[in-house]
Structure 1
Amino acid sequence: MTHNGNRFENKIALITGGSSGMGLATAHRLIAEGAQVIITGRDKARLDAAVGELGERATAVAGDATDSEDLATLARTVIERFGRLDVAFVNAGVGAFQPFTTVTPDEFDRIVALNFKSAFFTVQHMLPLLSAGAAIVINASFATYRGAPGTALYTATKAAVHSLARTLAAELAPKGIRVNSISPGYTDTPAFRAETTPETQNEAASRVALARIGTSDDVAAAVAFLASADGSYVTGQDLLVDGGLTTVIPSAMV
């Protein structure tokens, strides 16, 4: 991992869904650049393991991002221990892929809660803690740029967080708070590996202009840019981190 010095020296960052994958990689990145980082998740054992990996500048707070009481507890913990937040990476979420006709009301409510409700109310609860000049980055998906079978529910929730980021960028600009989203493409995370075979992964890589699956470190670098002073004139934007998957046709396919 390469990084740009101490862009986050004396900064306090919150990462939801921070015990693995993109969240954990972003925690590593921000700590390497000087931040104190709070990670959250529902699995305390995984959080404890992540803190052991991240070191003394990491703090874990177990909780469910869809639960208002847990979010209120998180906010109290942050203010008591650190006094403020400078960065929030709203990363908690889940993939959900099934035919439109098989989505049940219960599954609809579950995925909307995990991918959209959690983002909405995480920002709402953390807003009083955010300092002037703070940055919020919400994890969305490249899927909103393309229609694909079996993604109706998932894509709708990610379109919702795209819209949320843009709206919050307008609403929070007078407070000096920037809000952006990132849209990762195919990314090598534990969840991606669990849901795909090596053959499927190779086939996915063949669709990418850069001819590889992205890494969690690729995403972490993008989050760090948007959250740092290097991105100080960027707000209301969605940054595709997809190796050209969405906008570039690989030469092998031409």
Structure 2
Amino acid sequence: MKIAVITGAGQGIGLAIAQRVNRDGYHVVALDRVAETAERTAELVGGTACVADVSRDESLGQCAAMLRDTFGSVDVLVNNAGYWRQETFEEGTEDGARDIFDVNVLGAWRVVRHLLPLFNPGGAIVNVTSIAVSCPPFDLGLYPATKAALLGLTRQLAVQLGPRGIRVNAVAPGLIRTAGSQKAYEDGGRDRLLATLPIPRAGEPEDIADVVSFLVGHDSRYITGEEIRVDGGFLLVGATDRGA
């Protein structure tokens, strides 16, 4: 039985990834800081819930111990947990900066540290970044910086873990239809934005999940350290006031 750990698996992109890799034959461990959503995802895919906060080292240690005792090893990790806050650079605070880096960058780092001893050779890690690195929006504060750091971590890990037979890649979503993105465009700006794209629609969480499936599967066996953009052509026509 192959084991796939998905962080932030309770909703949106994380839930779609959990469902897709389950169809690919993995036993899914749904890691989320909210017990209700972790358990709901685990029930949906016939997997296992692990309630843990990626910003809390102790809870991740407990999750890793559960994985070791229950399954013995891990084959796939998808670092999807993350968050953003709608604010300009001037509106940001030092505490807020620490919080977002703690989840989006150090959170992924912590999860890898805890699970690496359990990884089987031939395993794969996928980090969820963002096209905001290449096309920073006006009002997402340090979010693009955190995703740039996560991309750097992706490539560092690809170099360091390659000799152990572990591939590390990233997927960069564009404007994806989730509860969070819908709220950010309540003024109708989203529809105007989508009309300008080469593929004039919002992406669905499943669009990201399908790429993750490719990156953890056999067909991508000679790919590591790469980031695949899934944005409907957003960056081909993007402007600096567009975000994802």
TM-score calculated relative to the size of structure 2: 0.94
AA of the residue aligned to 1:23: G
The aligned counterpart of 1:180 is 169
Q: Please give the alpha-carbon distance, in whole angstroms, between the structure 2 residues aligned to 1:147 and 1:62.
A: 32
Which of 196, 206, 210 does residue 217 from structure 1 map onto? 206
The aligned counterpart of 2:116 is 127
Q: Please give the alpha-carbon distance, in whole angstroms, between the structure 2 residues aligned to 1:89 and 1:175.
A: 18
The secondary structure found in structure 1 opposite 2:160 is helix
Contact 1:204 1:213 in 2 (8 A): no
Contact 1:17 1:91 in 2 (8 A): yes
Indicate yes or no: 2:130 matched with 1:141: yes
The aligned counterpart of 2:196 is 207
AA of the residue aligned to 2:73: R
TM-score calculated relative to the size of structure 1: 0.90
The aligned counterpart of 1:33 is 24
> Residue 195 and residue 149 in structure 1: after superposition, are their counterparts in 2 closer, same or farther (change >3 A)?
closer
AA of the residue aligned to 2:54: A
The aligned counterpart of 1:44 is 35
The aligned counterpart of 2:63 is 74
The aligned counterpart of 1:83 is 72
Deviation track 1:142-187 (CA, whole Å, cap 9, x = no partner) reads 0001133123400000000000001110011110110001100000
Indicate yes or no: 2:85 matched with 1:96: yes
Contact 1:15 1:27 in 2 (8 A): yes
Gaps spanning 5+ residues in structure 1: where? 1-9, 250-254
Indicate yes or no: 2:162 matched with 1:169: no
User: CA RMSD for the aligned pairs?
Assistant: 1.3
AA of the residue aligned to 1:48: E
The secondary structure found in structure 1 opposite 2:137 is coil
Contact 1:20 1:190 in 2 (8 A): no
The aligned counterpart of 1:231 is 220
AA of the residue aligned to 1:204: L
AA of the residue aligned to 2:162: A
Percent of pairs with identical residues: 34
Deviation at 1:95, TM superposition (A): 1.9
> Residue 195 and residue 248 in structure 1: after superposition, are their counterparts in 2 closer, same or farther (change >3 A)?
closer
The aligned counterpart of 1:244 is 233
Which of 23, 29, 35 does residue 14 from structure 2 map onto? 23
Contact 2:133 2:144 in 1 (8 A): yes
Deviation track 1:23-67 (CA, whole Å, cap 9, x = no partner) reads 11011101111110001111111222222322x2x1111111111
The number of residues matched between the two structures is 238
Shifted more, 41-50 versus 76-85: the winner is 41-50
The secondary structure found in structure 1 opposite 2:105 is helix
Contact 2:28 2:42 in 1 (8 A): no
Deviation at 1:190, TM superposition (A): 1.9
The secondary structure found in structure 1 opposite 2:81 is coil
AA of the residue aligned to 1:194: K
The aligned counterpart of 1:194 is 183
The secondary structure found in structure 2 opposite 1:23 is helix
Q: Please give the alpha-carbon distance, in whole angstroms, between the structure 1 residues aligned to 2:92 and 2:35.
A: 30
Shifted more, 193-202 versus 234-243: the winner is 193-202
The aligned counterpart of 1:105 is 94
Q: Please give the alpha-carbon distance, in whole angstroms, between the structure 2 residues aligned to 1:235 and 1:248.
A: 27
Q: Please give the alpha-carbon distance, in whole angstroms, between the structure 2 residues aligned to 1:248 and 1:233.
A: 30
Which of 43, 46, 62 does residue 51 from structure 2 map onto? 62
